[in-house]
Structure 1
C-alpha cells in the first residue's frame, strides 16, 4: 500500500503530468475552452485590455501576460483585435506567457510566432513594470485542499491508491464551527497564494488582471472536485495524469485575498453579462456576416458563452486592479 498524499499535492502532480503529456484542447482532446469556440471571445478580451491600458494612462512598454494560454488562441485573437482597433497599444505591448508545459509552449510558439517576448514557469519571473494579466480557465486547475466534518471536528482528505483517506489536518485554515456530518470544505491555498503575489505586484507596479472561470459567486460548503476525459466526466483519483482534474473557483475568497493585499476587486459577475457588456454578440454577428459558411457556428458559440443554461451563469469574471484605476469594462456596477 502506498503512502497517502495530501489532495492538493496529488492534484499538482497529476496536473503537471497531464499537461506535460498531451494537448487536451478541442474536439480530439478532453475539453473545449471559450477561445476555441469563438474568436470573438479573445478579441473582446483584447479590447477590454485596451480600454484598461488607456485608463492606466497608456504606459509604454506594458506587459500583456496570459496565465495558462492553452494553444495560444486567446492571445492570437486578442492581439489581432488590438492591432486593428488601437495600433499604439499593440506597439506598446510585450507579450508574456505563463506556461510550464514544453509541449504546449511549442504549440503556442507555432500560433503566435515572434509575438511572444518570453515564456515563464510562473508569474514571478515576468519582468517588473505595469502589466495586464489574463487567465481563462486557469484558476480552476490550481490544486485545492479538502476538509471533511467528522463528529465535532474536521479531518483532511488525502489520496491513497486511487481513493480518499482521512487524516488529521495539516495547518488548516479557519473552518466552520458548525457543519453537518460529512460536509466538505474546500480551500484553494495555492490560488490564494497566487492572487496574493499578483495583487502585490499590481499594487506596487500598476495594472490589472482578468480571470474567467467556473464556480459560485459566494463561498460555501461542498465537494467540487471533478475530472474530464474525452469530454466526459471521469474519476479524478484513479488515473493521475490521464484526466483533466479541476475544482470550482471560490471567487469570493480570492476577492477577499486581493483586497487584503491592497488592490480593488471587481465582481465576480456572470460571464454572460460580462461578455454582453463587452459586445461579444455584436462581434459574433459581424464575423457571421463576413463568413456566411460558418455563420451558424459563430452565432451558436456566442450563445453558448452567454446563455444562463450554457456557460453564461456558471462561469464568472473577476477583475483585480490598482486601487487608483476606474472600474474596468463590464464591472462598472460591481465596483467596491
Structure 2
C-alpha cells in the first residue's frame, strides 16, 4: 500500500528509538529475554580473559567500556577474571558504562559494588574520556533503531508508522528521496525489504574514529548476518513472547538483526580495522569454553547438568552458537586477537 505522507506519522527508526527508550526506562528487560552473561558465567569469564590479552598492546592506563551493560553481570564477570589473572593492570584500569536508563544504572551499581575499580556512567560514547580503550558490546546493536526500505516497480519506498486516532497504528509506505547508497546498489526484486541502521553504523564509526586518536579494540557480539541481505527482521518481545511491534510502544523490546557486513564497512571507512565476523560458538570454543565448563563441572559436580546446558545454549549451532556473531574493530597495527582469524576483514 502506498499513501502520500500525511500528518501523524513517523519514520520507523524514530518510532523504534522512542519506544525502546521508554521500554528500558520503565521495565525490566530481563523479564522478556535472557542474554549470554545471564545464561552462564563462562561467557563473561572468557571475554574477561580476551580483554586481558588485548590490553597488553594498549599501555598501562586503559578504559574498559561496555555499551548496553544490562544488569552489570558481564562486567562483573570480566572484572573478576581480570583481577585474578592481571592484578598488576588493575590500578590503571577504569570502567565506563554507556547506559541511559537510570533504573538500570542502579542495578549495575549494585552488581559492581566492591570491585575496587573506579566506575563511571555515560549517556554516550562521546562522554567517555579519551585514551586507550577496550569496548565490549553484547546485544547492544540489535536494539538500535532501523529503517526499512521496500522496493517498488521503479523506485524505493520507506516504511513509516501511522498513529491512529480511531484505529490501531499501522504501517504505511511513503515516497523516499534519501535512499542510502548501500541500499540502492543491492540486487533486489519488487517487494524486497532492505533494512539499515544509521544509529548502529554511526556508533561503529565513532568507535573507529576514536581509535585514530588512541589505540583500542572493540568487540561486538549480537545476532545477525555476516553478509548484507534482504528481508525484514524487526521483532518485539513482551513477557518473553512475540507481539506486534506497533502495539503499546514502550512495553515491548524492539530489536532487529545486525548487518555485520555493513558494520565492518562503516568501521573500515572510518579508519578502523575489522576482524570477523565469526560465529559466537566458534569464538567461545576458540577461547576455551569447553575446557572451562569441564573445570566448573569438576569443582561442582552437582551443578554439572546446569553448566553443560548453559554452555550448549551459548555454543550450540541450533541455539545461539550460529545465529550470534562477533566482530572486532581495532586501531591500525593491532592484530593477533584471540578467537579471530589473522586476516583482517576485506583483505584478500
TM-score bucket (shorter structure): over 0.9
**Post-superposition shift, 1:293?**
2.7
Contact 1:266 1:319 in 2 (8 A): yes
Contact 2:276 2:341 in 1 (8 A): no
Residue in structure 2 matched with residue 151 of structure 1 by the alignment: 153
2:79 & 2:21 partners in 1: Cα distance? 28
* Unaligned 5+ runs, structure 1: none
Residue in structure 1 matched with residue 261 of structure 2 by the alignment: 252
**Post-superposition shift, 1:333?**
4.3
Residue in structure 2 matched with residue 201 of structure 1 by the alignment: 210
Indicate yes or no: 2:43 matched with 1:46. no
Q: Deviation per CA, 1:234-262, whole angstroms, max 9, x where unpaired?
A: 11121211111000000001101111111
Residue in structure 2 matched with residue 8 of structure 1 by the alignment: 13
Structure 1 length normalisation: TM-score? 0.95
1:170 & 1:239 partners in 2: Cα distance? 30
Contact 1:97 1:116 in 2 (8 A): no
**Post-superposition shift, 1:177?**
6.6
Contact 1:206 1:322 in 2 (8 A): yes
Runs of 4+ in 1 over 3 A off after TM superposition: none
Indicate yes or no: 2:188 matched with 1:179. yes
Residue in structure 1 matched with residue 27 of structure 2 by the alignment: 22
Contact 2:156 2:179 in 1 (8 A): no
| Root mean square deviation, CA, Å | 1.4
Indicate yes or no: 2:106 matched with 1:98. no
1:311 & 1:276 partners in 2: Cα distance? 13
Structure 2 length normalisation: TM-score? 0.92
1:132 & 1:195 partners in 2: Cα distance? 14
Residue in structure 2 matched with residue 290 of structure 1 by the alignment: 299
Residue in structure 1 matched with residue 122 of structure 2 by the alignment: 120
Q: Deviation per CA, 1:278-313, whole angstroms, max 9, x where unpaired?
A: 111211222222222322111111111111111011
Residue in structure 2 matched with residue 68 of structure 1 by the alignment: 68
Residue in structure 1 matched with residue 134 of structure 2 by the alignment: 132
SS in 2 for 1:104: helix
Indicate yes or no: 2:228 matched with 1:219. yes
Q: Deviation per CA, 1:103-157, whole angstroms, max 9, x where unpaired?
A: 0000000110264521000100000100000000000001000001111111000
When residues 65 and 153 of structure 1 are mapped into structure 2, their CA distance, relative to the original with a 3 A threshold, is same
1:272 & 1:293 partners in 2: Cα distance? 25
1:289 & 1:87 partners in 2: Cα distance? 26
Q: Deviation per CA, 1:70-106, whole angstroms, max 9, x where unpaired?
A: 0000000000011111112323210000000000000
SS in 2 for 1:164: strand
2:284 & 2:57 partners in 1: Cα distance? 20
Trace 1:227-242 onto structure 2 (pairs within 5 A). 227-242=236-251
Residue in structure 1 matched with residue 166 of structure 2 by the alignment: none
Indicate yes or no: 2:84 matched with 1:84. yes
1:85 & 1:236 partners in 2: Cα distance? 44
Residue in structure 2 matched with residue 277 of structure 1 by the alignment: 286
Indicate yes or no: 2:273 matched with 1:264. yes
Residue in structure 1 matched with residue 57 of structure 2 by the alignment: 55
Aligned length: 331
1:185 & 1:289 partners in 2: Cα distance? 48
1:133 & 1:279 partners in 2: Cα distance? 21
Q: Deviation per CA, 1:212-253, whole angstroms, max 9, x where unpaired?
A: 000011001110111112222111121211111000000001
1:296 & 1:169 partners in 2: Cα distance? 53
When residues 23 and 323 of structure 1 are mapped into structure 2, their CA distance, relative to the original with a 3 A threshold, is same
**Post-superposition shift, 1:195?**
0.7
1:10 & 1:296 partners in 2: Cα distance? 43
Q: Deviation per CA, 1:305-329, whole angstroms, max 9, x where unpaired?
A: 1111110110000000111111311
2:265 & 2:54 partners in 1: Cα distance? 22
